[in-house]
Amino acid sequence: MNRFAELLDRLVLTPSRNGKLTLLVDYFRSVEDPDRGLALAAITGDLNIAAVKPAMLRTLVTERMDPVLFGYSYDYVGDLAETVSLVWPQTPGHIPNREPTLSDVVAKLQAASRSDGPKVLAGLLDSAGISARFAIIKLVTGGLRIGVSARLAKQALADFGKVDVAEIEELWHGLTPPYISLFAWLEGKAEKPQRTALALFSPVMLSNPVGDGDLEKLDPADYAAEWKWDGIRVQAVCEGGVRRLYSRTGDDVSGAFPDLAEAMNFSAALDGELLVGEPAATGTFSDLQQRLNRKSVTPKIQQRYPAFMRCYDVLQIDGEDLRALPFRERRVHLEAFIKTLDPSRFDLSPLVDFTDWQALEEMRRAPPHPIIEGVMLKRWDSPYLAGRPKGPWFKWKRDPHTVDAVLMYAQRGHGKRSSFYSDYTFGVWSGPEGAEELVPVGKAYFGFTDEELKQIDKFVRDNTVERFGPVRSVRADRKQGLVLEVAFEGLNRSTRHKSGVAMRFPRISRLRWDKPTAEADRIETLQALLD
Amino acid sequence: MRARDLLHPRPEGLYCPPGDFFIDPVRPVNRALITHGHSDHARSGHRSVLATQQTLDIMGLRYGEDFAGTTQAAALGAAMALNDVTVTFHPAGHVLGSAQIAVEHKGRRIVASGDYKRQKDATCAPFEPVKCDVFITEATFGLPVFRHPPDTEEIARLLKSAAQFPERSHLVGAYALGKAQRVMRLLRDAGYDRPIYIHGALAKLSEYYQSQGIDLGTLEPATVDSGGKQDFTGAIVVGPPSAFADRWARRFPDPISCFASGWMRIRQRAKQGGVELPLIISDHADWDELIATIKETGAGEIWVTHGREEALVRWCELEGIAARPLHLVGYEDEGD
C-alpha cells in the first residue's frame, strides 16, 4: 500500500507529463502483480469499490478522538481525507505485523457489505501508516484527483512495454483488473492478449495541420475535402449486441449520450463527430457544452440538446474490416450504410466540391455554419491508419480570433519554468468611459518564445503591485501596463467568469510593447463574437 | 510569589523581574538570555548576551563580532546565579547550540523550551527533559495533524527521486541555519558521497558546523562560474527556500523543487508553493513529541507560545493539566 500511496503523492505534485510518465513506468516496473494492475485500475477509474460517505468518515474519526481537536485539525488542513489520514490515532504499542498491500485493501473493501463497510475501513486504517491511510480513504471516497487521465496511464503502459499506445487502446476494453495478461505481454513474458471481447475500440486516424507551403506540393485532384466540425470525435461500435460509443482516446462515453447509444442498432464501426441538435439544424458549440462533462443526463437535457453523429468514415461492417480500403471505397460503403440508419441520429458529413486550393481557401474563410472550424483534406487513396501519419489527412483550420488584452496577473510556472512568471491572466476594458476597469477574460501560458518569456518575467518583477503566494498582480491601468495580443479558437458564455465569457485554447500571439493600454480591446468586442 | 511574577511577557520579550533579564527579546535590552541562533530569537544590539558558546558564535557569524556589548558563554548543565535567580541551560535538540533555559527562584522552576525537537539529529545535542513546575513550550506544530515521519525515510525519497530523474537537478529548500546542515548530514549518513552544491547564503554557517566536528562531506558553491548548466545534471543543490523562486534557480537543468520542512506534511502547502517533492523534515517537535514532552517534564502548568496554542491548551485541559497561551510577539510561527 505504501508504494501506491507514494505514487499518488508524487503524481499529484508533479506537473510535467514526462515526469508523471517516468513515475508511472517506474511503478509498473518495480511493483508486482496484482498490485500494479489494481493501481492502474484505480487511476483509470476501473476499480469497483463501494463508496464511503464523508459523513461516515467523520463519525469514525470522532469516535476515536476529541471532536474539538478534530475540528481544529480539519479547519487547518481543509481536506477531510487528508485530515483523517493524519489524525487517525494509532493504537499505542500496536505495531502491525505487516502493513496491508494494495490487493489486501482492495479485497477487503470489495468483500465488505454495506453494513460492515465502516468497520472494515476502520480496521484497515488501524493497520496502515499515514500515507497509506490517505490512499485508502481516497479509494473509498472515490476520485483520486491526481491529474492523471486514463489516456496518460495508457501512454505509460505503452512506454513501459515499448509498444504503440494504439495497441493498448485497441485492447483496453477487453481487459479487466488486475490486467495480468496485459502486463505479462508488456514484459515480454507472454503473447499479446487476444481481442476476444466484442465491440472493441479501433485507434483513430488523426490529421496534421496544413503548414506553410504544404498545399503547393499537393495536387487538389488527389484529395477530398469536408467541413471540419467542431464537436467531439467519436467512434460508434456495435457488435454482437454490444454497443459502445468511444471518445478518440478509447474511453467509453456511452453513459453520457444514452440517446445516441440507443439508436446504435447496427453492426458496424463508424467514425464521426458528435454534435447536438438535429442534422438539419445543427447546434452551436455552446449547445454542445450542455452535454459535456456530465455524470448523468436528465431526459430534459436530452430532449433539449439531442446528440447525433455526423459520420465521415466506416471501419467495419458486419465483422468485415474495411480499414485497408482506400478512402474513396470506404466512402462509398459509408454513403450506402448511412441510409439504413435513423436519420435523426446519424447523417453523412458532406464532401465539399472544389477545383483548386484558392477556391477551397475562400470556402474555408466563410463556412456555412458557426460550428465549422475549417476544412479537412483526405487523400482519396489513403487507407485508415491509426495515429497521425503525415500526408494522407490534413486539417486546415479557420484563422484564430485575436484580441488585445492587458496583463493583470502572473503566476510562477513549474519545472523548467519554476523561476519564471509564465502563466498570465489578462483582461479587457469594461465599464463606462472615464471609469473603465479591466475584467479578466482568460489565462495563457504558451505562445511566446523563451526570449519573450524572459522579457515578460522581467516586466512582472519590475511592475509587481501585490503578491499572493506564487501569484503577482502587476501594474495595469489606463496609462501603464503590458498589452498582449491573444489568439483563441472561439468563445463560450460562462457563468463562472466575471466577464461572462470563456476563451477556447487561448495563447499569447504577440507582445505589444508598443501599444498603450488604453487602446486594448473592450469586452463588447468579445461579446460580439458569442454565437 | 506566583509563577507569573518570575517570568512574564513584556513587549520586548519574556521578562524575569527578580533576575532582571529577558529570554529571546525581540528588541534591544540590557541583559538577554538567548536560546538559539535563529534570527527571530537571536537579535543584535543587546548590552549583554548570555547564551551557549555555539549560539554566540552563530550570532557573531550572522551579525558581526560586535553584535552585543558583552557576551558570556553558558555551559550546558551548569547553574549560574543572576541576582537571586538561578539559570541553567539544557540542550533543546533544535539546532547546533540550541538550549532550553531553566529559571529557578525560591524553590520554583520554570523551563523555557525555546524551540525544540525530539527526533535524533546528528548536527546537535539531543533534547534533555528537565523536571519543572512550569514548562513553557513552543507550539509551531501544535495540531494533531503534524506527525513527522523518520527523517531517514524522507532522505530515502529524495535519493530515490534523484535516481529516477538523473537528467534533472534536485533543489532542496532548507533554512540556512540548522535544517540545511541536517539535510546534508542525513544525505551523508545515507551514503550519498557526491559533492553537495550549496547556495552562498549557506556557506559560512556550514563551514562553522564542519569546524564543530559535524562532517558534511564535500560542499561546492552552486555558482555558474564553477561550470555550465550540464554540470548540475543529477546534482543535489541545497539553498534557502526563497532562492528557488528567484532568478538564481535558472542555472539548473529542469530542476525538481524540494522543500525540507514540517509544513510539507500538508499537501496543499506543498502544492501552493510549487513544491514537487516535499520532504517532511522538521527541527520542531511534532504533536506526539509535544505531548510526550509535556508529560515528561512533570510540570503542573503549561504555558504555550508561538504556534497553534489552542489545540495544545485543549489537550492539556483534557489531561487535567493547567495550561494557558502565552502571547509573545515578534516570533515567526512559519519558520521551519
* Separation of alpha carbons B10 and B179, rounded Å: 30
Over 90: is that where the pLDDT of A22 sits? yes
The CATH H-level superfamily of A2-141 is DNA ligase, ATP-dependent, N-terminal domain (1.10.3260.10)
Please count the CA atoms within 13 angstroms of the CA of B319 that sit on its side-chain side: 18
CB–CB of B267 and A10 under 8 A?
Answer: no
Q: Within an 8 Å CB–CB cutoff, is residue A419 touching chain B?
A: yes
Sign of CA dihedral B274, B275, B280, B283: negative
- Chain B residues whose C-beta is within 8 A of a chain A C-beta are 143-147, 149, 157, 161, 164-165, 244-250, 254-257, 265-268, 270-278, 308, 310-311, 314-315, 318
CB–CB of B314 and A416 under 8 A?
no
All cell numbers assigned to A21: 510518465
Question: Chain A closest CA to B289's CA: distance in Å?
Answer: 14
Q: Is the pLDDT of residue A182 over 80?
A: yes
Interchain CB distance below 8 Å, B308 and A66: no
Q: How confident is the model at residue A45 (pLDDT cuts 50, 70, 90)?
A: confident
**Per-residue pLDDT at A92:** 58
Residue B11 is placed in which grid cell?
513587549
CA distance B262 to chain A (A): 13
- For chain B, residues with pLDDT lower than 70 are 224-230, 329-335
Of B106, B74, B105, the closest CA to residue B90 belongs to: B74
Question: What mean pLDDT do residues A403-416 have?
Answer: 88
Tell me which H or E stretch contains A362: helix A357-365
Give the global pTM: 0.82
Contact state of B308 with A68 under an 8 Å Cβ cutoff: no
Q: How far is CA A400 from CA A357, A425, B218, in A?
A: 20, 19, 55
Cell 519554468 locates to: A417
- The string of DSSP codes covering A248-287 is TTS-B-GGG-HHHHHT--SSEEEEEEEEEEETTEE--HHH
Contact residues for A39 (Cβ-Cβ < 8 A; gap 6+): A4, A7, A27, A31, A102
Flag whether residue A418 sits within 8 Å of chain B, measured between CB atoms.
yes
Nearest to A69 among B144, B161, B244 (CB): B144
Nearest CA in chain B to A22: B164
3-state secondary structure of A125: helix
Architecture of domain B3-145+284-325: 4-Layer Sandwich (3.60)
Catalytic residues of A: 228
Q: With 60 as the cut, is the pLDDT of residue A173 above it?
A: yes
Contact status of A6 with chain B (Cβ, < 8 Å): yes
- Whether residue B267 and residue A12 make contact (CB cut-off 8 A), yes or no, is yes
Q: Indicate the helix (H) or strand (E) that contains B89.
A: strand B85-91
Chain A interface disruption, residue of B141, B145, B160, B291, most A CBs within 10 A: B145
**pLDDT tens digits for range A338-377:** 999 999 999 999 999 999 999 999 999 888 888 898 999 9
pLDDT in tens, A455-472: 999 999 999 999 887 889
Are the beta carbons of B143 and A76 separated by less than 8 Å? Answer: yes
Q: Which chain A residues touch B276 with a CB distance below 8 Å?
A: 13-15, 19, 414-415
Q: Taking CA atoms, what residue in A is nearest to B287?
A: A87
Give residue limits of the domains in chain B: 3-145+284-325, 151-279
Q: Give the chain B residue whose CA is nearest to the CA of A70.
A: B144
**Among A75, A73, A70, A11, CA closest to A42:** A11
Interface contact flag, A9 B267, Cβ < 8 Å = yes
Q: Which ranges of chain B would DSSP assign to H, the alpha helix?
A: 3-6, 53-63, 151-164, 179-189, 203-211, 267-272, 287-297, 309-319
CB contact under 8 A, B144 and A65: yes
Average pLDDT, chain A: 91
Q: What is the pLDDT of residues A262-283, one digit of tens each?
A: 999 999 999 999 999 988 889 8
All residues of chain A having their beta carbon less than 8 Å from the beta carbon of residue B308 are: 72, 76
Question: What pLDDT, in 10s, does the model give residues A280-306?
Answer: 889 888 788 888 877 678 999 999 999
Query: A77 to chain B: which residues are within 8 Å by CB?
Result: 145, 266, 268
SS3 A502: strand
Beta-carbon separation of A66 and B146 below 8 A:
no
Q: How many CB atoms lie within 10 A of CB B235?
A: 20
Q: Which residues contact A195 (CB under 8 A, 6 or more apart)?
A: A170, A171, A174
Residues of A in contact with B246 (CB under 8 A): 419
CB-based burial of residue A368 (10 Å sphere; 0-12 exposed, 13-18 middle, 19+ buried)?
exposed
Q: What superfamily does domain A208-397 belong to in CATH?
A: DNA ligase/mRNA capping enzyme (3.30.470.30)
Calculate the dihedral angle through the C-alpha atoms of A486, A489, A490, A491, rounding to the nearest 10 degrees. Answer: -40
The alpha carbon of residue B244 is apart from the nearest alpha carbon of chain A, in Å, by 7
Out of B149, B250, B271, name the one closest to residue A419 (CB). Answer: B250
- The answer to whether domain B151-279 has CATH 3.30.70 is no
Distance CA A201, CA A316 (A): 11
Question: For residues A184 and A180, what is the distance between their CA atoms, to the nearest angstrom?
Answer: 6
Distance from CA of A87 to the nearest CA of B (A): 5
Please report, for residues A215, A217, A356, A376, the alpha-carbon distance to residue A212 in angstroms, rounded to integers and kept in the order given: 8, 11, 17, 16
What's phi and psi for A205, nearest 5 deg? -95, 135
CA distance B6 to B136: 13
Residues 6 or more apart whose Cβ sits within 8 Å of residue A14:
A20, A23, B276
Q: Please judge whether A12 and B149 are an interchain contact, meaning their C-beta atoms are less than 8 angstroms apart.
A: no
* pLDDT tens digits along A249-264: 888 888 889 999 999 9
A468 lies within 8 A of chain B by CB: no
Closest CA to A417 of A387, A393, A446: A446
**Between chains, do B165 and A19 touch, taking CB under 8 Å as contact?**
yes
CB–CB of A76 and B255 under 8 A?
no
DSSP-based three-state secondary structure for B238:
strand
The Cα A366–Cα A368 span in angstroms is 7
Closest CA to A408 of A444, A434, A440: A440
pLDDT of residue A255: 87
**Angle value at C-alpha B47, between B46 and B52, nearest 5 degrees:** 70
pLDDT at A94: 57
User: Would you call A447 an interface residue with chain B, using a CB distance cutoff of 8 Å?
Assistant: no
Looking at beta carbons, which residues of chain B come within 8 Å of A418? 244-245, 249, 255, 257, 274
Q: Which of A69, A72, A418 is facing B274, going by the closest CB pair?
A: A418
CB contact (8 A) between residue A68 and residue B314: yes
Pick from B164, B265, B271: CB nearest A13 = B271
What's A216's DSSP letter?
A: G
8 Å CB contact of B164 and A415: no
The one-letter amino acid code at A230 reads: D
- Residue A496 confidence (pLDDT) above 90: no
Of A13, A26, A82, the CB nearest to B276: A13
Beta carbons of A312 and A207 less than 8 angstroms apart: no
CB contact under 8 A, B315 and A69: yes
Between CA A43 and CA A4 the distance in angstroms is: 11
Q: Which residue of B has its CA nearest to A8?
A: B267
**CB pairs A-B closer than 8 Å:** 94
Phi-psi region for residue A146, left (φ > 0), alpha (ψ -120 to 50) or beta? Answer: alpha
List C-alpha distances in Å: A8 to A39, A86, B267, B273: 10, 16, 11, 18
> What is the domain partition of chain A in residue ranges?
2-141, 208-397, 401-527
Assign A180 a pLDDT band (cuts: 50, 70, 90). very high
Residues 6+ apart with CB under 8 A from A95: none
Q: Is A292 on the interface with B (CB under 8 A)?
A: no
Tracing cell 474513396 back to the chain, one arrives at A328
CA distance B267 to chain A (A): 8
What contacts B96, CB < 8 A, 6 or more positions away? B37, B54, B58, B123, B124, B177, B178, B181, B209, B212, B214
CB spacing of A86 vs B146 below 8 angstroms: yes
Chain B contact probe: residue of A66, A144, A145, A418 with most B CBs at under 10 A: A418
Q: DSSP letters of B25-38?
A: -SS--SEEE-S--S
Answer whether A72 sits within 8 Å of B308, measured CB to CB.
yes
Q: According to the model, what pLDDT value does residue A96 have?
A: 60
Grid cell locating A71: 475540528
**Mutual angle of helices A117-126 and A130-141, in 10-degree steps:** 160
Measured in Å, how far apart are chain A's first and last C-alpha atoms? Answer: 50
CB within 8 Å: A415 and B266? no
Q: Which residues of B touch A69 (CB under 8 A)?
A: 144, 311, 314-315
- H or E, element range at A75: helix A67-77
Answer whether A524 touches B (CB < 8 Å). Answer: no
| CB A158, CB A168: distance < 8 Å | yes
DSSP A1-31: -HHHHHHHHHHHH---HHHHHHHHHHHHHHS
Which residues from B are below 8 Å from A83, CB to CB? 145
Q: Which residue of A has its CA nearest to B311?
A: A69
Question: Best residue in A3, A8, A9, A13 to probe B by mutation, most B CBs within 10 Å?
Answer: A13
Domain at A401-527, CATH class: mainly beta
